[in-house]
Copies of this chain bind each other. A is one copy, B any other.
């Protein structure tokens, strides 16, 4: 079966293509009666406008691109879900590509986006991306880029992110409230700006408001590392009474150890993390956490994208605020 086109409709109705086109978009030039006829036939023949032709003609694509390190991730998937939802409600479709934290993939993904003339891209840098030239080039081509989560330091770009400092501080506050004496704080990949922000805010706050609390700092780039780190700190000599986990991956590792060693939460140890909430609620008692919602971030990013596409470049950095969610682990 051949697709119905304007041409076909026009032929069947003995009208010109332009008339049909206008009738379909309710153009004032066209009489009500012909509009009715056109619509009726279009309906019965399932006319579906060819997006390519439209995009070619109008030079605007109604497609947005999203680059994430991995789709299969508790944070990114909710971000994507939010962006997709907002996009669909606004007549856009999303194209999603994964970089696998590989800058080369990132480049080829961007190429696909450019070739498909997406009208905007949401990008999360892969952890080792250094060269931002491509993104600069996209801006020159007037394809707005909104960065999220892992964002460039450079402030020529538009970014949305969690209020990382606030997150860390809220966690610290609750640790102090618990009256912790020996704290283990495990942070993520040391190279990421997100880690640096969270760590320095956390450290500063603890020093300023609870200088006597003894804090040990560690980094874990994987669940496995977190698990091992936790094991080290769980032996008698340096037993900690509170542990802070910067990410879900870390929390998972920590909880494995805690369960394995049958340490009682919250009596023997308090646990607090930064998360979107899914993982913390898997355990009993639920782990208290500072909520960072990929969903919220996605919505914010979309708004920012629309703003960028409409008006001139608004080169700002927006943040989603955090909130503390009480579990039973503190």
A interface vs B, CB < 8 Å? 1, 3, 46, 48-53, 55-56, 61, 63, 70-74, 77-78, 80-81, 84-85, 88, 93-98, 105, 108-109, 111-112, 114-117, 137, 140-142, 252, 255-256, 259-260, 279, 282-284
Contact = CB atoms under 8 A, between A and B. Distances in A.
Most buried by B among A48, A70, A105, A260: A48
Contacts of A3: 141
Contacts of A256: 282-284
15 contacts: A1-B142, A49-B115, A52-B116, A70-B81, A72-B80, A81-B98, A84-B96, A84-B97, A88-B98, A93-B116, A94-B95, A94-B96, A95-B95, A252-B282, A256-B284
B71 A84 contact: yes
B96 A52 contact: no
Nearest to A76: B77
Contacts of A85: 98
A89 to B, nearest CB: 10
A94 B105 CA distance: 15
A170 B256 CA distance: 27
A54 B80 CA distance: 28
Nearest to A227: B284
Contacts of A77: 71-73, 77
Contacts of A48: 111, 114-115
Given A72-B81, A88-B112, 13 more contacts: A49-B115, A51-B117, A52-B116, A53-B56, A71-B84, A72-B78, A73-B77, A84-B96, A84-B97, A85-B98, A88-B108, A256-B282, A260-B284
Contacts of A56: 50, 52-53, 56
Contacts of A259: 283-284
Contacts of A117: 50-52
A88 B98 CA distance: 9
Given A52-B52, A256-B284, A96 B96 contact: yes
A93 B97 contact: yes
B55 A52 contact: yes
A206 B252 CA distance: 35
A250 to B, nearest CB: 13
A226 to B, nearest CB: 13
B141 A1 contact: yes
Nearest to A98: B84
Given A93-B95, A96-B94, A81 B71 contact: yes
A230 to B, nearest CB: 12
A74 B71 CA distance: 10
Contacts of A53: 52, 56
A299 to B, nearest CB: 14
Given A52-B56, A53-B56, A93 B112 contact: yes
Contacts of A114: 48
A163 B236 CA distance: 48
Nearest to A114: B48
Nearest to A75: B72
A158 B61 CA distance: 31
